[in-house]
Amino acid sequence: MARSDVHPIHRFEPWQVWPGSFDNPPVDGVYPIPQNIGLKITRSTPIASMGSCFAREIKRKLLQRKYNYISEESHHPAAIHASAAWERVYSTFCMRQIFEYTFEQWEPGLRWWIAPQSKKVQDPYRRTIVYNSIEEAEADFAQHLNHSRQALQRAEVLILTLGLTEIWQDRVDGSVISLPSGPYVKEGGDMDRYGFRVSRYTENLENLERIHEIMAKHNPGCKLLMTVSPVNLWATFRKDLDVISASCNSKSTLRAVTDEFTFRHDNVYYFPAFEMATIYQPLSGLTYFSDGRENYHVNKPTVKFIMRHFFDYYSKPQES
């Protein structure tokens, strides 16, 4: 048991106190794991994942460890990041739209972008997925719907990695595009239809609740495992904050949202990848930032540290 001079009567479990505080042990390379986490994952558990850049790292490590990771549309370049060709999904809005177009009727007012010069057809709602014609785009998306449905209905555990709160929203119907990028934007496509804004706590929580509602109907036995990506914003579209403050706001908002979402549902769990990278690594005297041009990403030692603890958290001892 740990002790505190501030609360001398109370005795805490080691994972309840700050490492190195008072006479308690300092960081030792093993992140403090609470008791009774409640979620168990074996190599036979069907696992799906979706989310931002960090979700790709989770997928890669699960496949390396030969877990039963669901890989639909493995032929599709956009499936490298997740269990289907969802591409990277940064906001809870885009995440919610995936569940709605997979299981319900979701029809935005403007479905495809046509690049002004090359005439390439681009999907605004999945990052930089490009086709040669509308017919090719619609045929591929019809196949994608089937794969998306299979991945989400097969999953016994679904890992959702939340990335940021900045969004570009259609002023007409409220749909949210992935990012202002790709040939449509580079070739001068009209972006006046979309407005930038920072989404807030309540609406992000509403998006997760909507996802939970849909999954409860179509795969009620599935458990949701929430993470917040430790990858910082490369740039912010905000004019009122610097990029570091904007990144902190995104992560703080989403961390608070996941805490409330986890509290509300018995089948929702939280894994502290964000805290392991941004707090525990610096406490250990280590940086979690990558070197080079993309130094806002998480370096490989930190990814390895996080995923080692992922298996320690949720796998049976013989499989960790």
Evaluate whether 131 touches 120 at the Cβ level (below 8 Å).
yes
The predicted structure's pLDDT at residue 315:
86
The predicted structure's pLDDT at residue 7: 66
For residue 30, the tally of other CB atoms under 10 A from its CB is 12
Instruction: Give me the pLDDT at residue 62, please.
Output: 94
What tens-digit pLDDT sequence spans the chain (320 residues)? 666 666 667 788 889 999 999 888 899 999 998 877 889 999 999 999 999 888 888 899 999 999 999 999 999 999 999 999 999 999 999 999 999 999 999 999 999 999 999 999 999 999 989 999 999 999 999 999 999 999 999 999 999 999 999 999 999 999 999 999 999 999 999 999 999 999 999 999 999 999 999 999 999 999 999 999 999 999 999 999 999 999 999 999 999 999 999 999 999 999 999 999 999 999 999 999 999 999 999 999 999 999 999 999 998 553 43
The 10s digit of each residue's pLDDT in 175-188 is 999 999 999 999 99
CA distances from 318 to 43, 225, 242, 244, 303 (A): 11, 22, 46, 41, 22
Contacts of 290 (CB under 8 A, 6+ apart): 296, 297, 298, 299, 300
Domains of the chain: 41-319 (3.40.50)
Residue 318's pLDDT is what? 39
The helix-helix angle for 134-154 and 92-103 (nearest 10°) equals: 90
pLDDT attached to residue 319: 40
Show Cβ contacts of residue 11 under 8 Å, excluding neighbours closer than 6 positions. 1, 2, 3
Q: What is the pLDDT of residues 192-219, one digit of tens each?
A: 999 999 999 999 999 999 999 999 999 9
Residue with tokens 């209905």: 153
Handedness of CA 81, 44, 210, 265 (dihedral sign): negative
